[in-house]
Amino acid sequence: MILEPLSPGQDIPAPLLSDITALYASNSAFHRLSGDFPDPDDIRPGQVAATLAKDLAVPGTEVLLARTEEGRLVGLAGTRAHHPDPADPDPWIGLLLVHAAEHGRGYGRALAELVEDRFRAQGRSAVRLAVLANNPKALAFWTALGYEVIDHRPDRALGRPCAVLRKALGEA
């Protein structure tokens, strides 16, 4: 798998934005849970472009596109080098999406491991993420990868109930 970072302020070419929009749209079940889009069954390129621009405007945020060796877009990860809470020393995975047609093929695990490797290479000792309380499938995915629930609290953006998970990053 190949990771391709999007750059802040980057004008995303229409064909790439179309591919990213298809990735988001394929996960309508998740977006119904999250409420991130007004109509999870009708996600538009302009909405995706605005979401990406907003995310990338936050210092320390990365959006990583995950491609197969053949170049096909299969996933996306959004990360933050620092949490807004200064008492939290760990980087965060804010979003990990795999195209719904590719679920169950190991792309999510591979993408998570590549993100962990990036943080490990930066000298980070652990990584955190939040899982919506109404998403037991995601909780099962992350705990299977070695993440442990360390807290339950509302998310900062919309106040949705979440489980906060953490994984220590040992040697690769």
Mean pLDDT along residues 61-77:
96
* Residue ranges in the chain assigned as alpha helix (H): 14-25, 28-34, 45-56, 107-121, 136-144
Q: Is the dihedral of CA 129, 166, 61, 65 positive or negative?
A: negative
CATH code: domain of residue 134: 3.40.630.30
Q: Which is it for strands 92-98 and 73-80: parallel, antiparallel or unpaired?
A: antiparallel
Reported as a single tens digit per residue, the pLDDT across 73-129 is: 999 999 999 887 888 899 999 999 999 999 999 999 999 999 999 999 999 999 999
Query: Which residue range is the domain that position 64 belongs to?
Result: 2-168
How many domains in the chain? 1
Whole-angstrom CA distances from 148 to 17, 76, 125 are 34, 22, 15
Q: What is the pTM of this model?
A: 0.92
